[in-house]
Amino acid sequence: MKKYLIPFFIGIVLFISCFSCIYFFGKKQLNSGSFISRLATHFFDFNTISVNHIDRKIESDVSTFSENNCIYQNGKTQNGIANKYGRNCFDIYYQQQKTKICHFKKNNWYVNHYHFEITHFLDSLDVELKIIGPDSSANVQYKIENG
């Protein structure tokens, strides 16, 4: 039994080392199209989000989802945004209002920063999305649903 422990621990150390190298070198080479960058974006969610509220009183009432994954709630970022090719949509909820914002992502290894500007008017929100990264020139589409 003891003769299997050393190869087992060596295997674990190698696995952790490889995974760490993919993370750190991939993060340094984001959006370069290199093999390590593409590999890293399949394992890790490097996309980031920030939300700017004009009215801090509504902060706890706003939640944002990406593909049924809560990414922002109670004034805090919750989860990462997965890298996915094609149509990427965000659902912003406030009371009975849902705002859907979509853009087309050119490939599944581009990493972007999504900045939401939220302004509160009476009982509704005005949401604007700014994309910082390779998809910044993408056409952003808005749709507001009430009820």
Domain that holds residue 4: 1-44
Terminal alpha carbon distance of the chain: 64
Crossing angle (nearest 10°) for helices 35-43 and 2-28: 110
Q: What is the pLDDT of residue 130?
A: 92
Span 101-119, pLDDT tens digits = 898 888 888 899 999 888 8
Same domain, 39 and 86: no
Q: What is the pLDDT of residue 1?
A: 63
How many other C-beta atoms lie within 10 A of the C-beta of residue 90? 22
Q: Which residues is 92 bridged to in the sheet?
A: 64, 99
Q: How many domains does the chain have?
A: 2
Same domain, 36 and 72: no
Span 34-91, pLDDT tens digits = 888 888 888 888 888 888 876 667 777 788 888 888 888 887 888 778 888 888 889 9
Q: Where are the alpha helices (DSSP H) in 29-140?
A: 35-43
Q: Mean pLDDT throughout 6-20?
A: 90
Same domain, 27 and 98: no
Q: What are phi and psi of 102, to 5 degrees?
A: -130, 150
Q: What is the pLDDT of residue 94?
A: 84
Q: What is the pLDDT of residue 14?
A: 93
pLDDT at 120 over 90: no
Same domain, 23 and 92: no
Q: Give residue 87's identity as a one-letter amino acid code.
A: R
Q: What is the pLDDT of residue 113?
A: 92
Q: What three-state secondary structure class fits 18?
A: helix
Same domain, 52 and 22: no
Q: State the Cα–Cα distance between residues 106 and 75, nearest whole angstrom.
A: 30
0.85 exceeded by the pTM? no
How many other C-beta atoms lie within 10 A of the C-beta of residue 92? 22
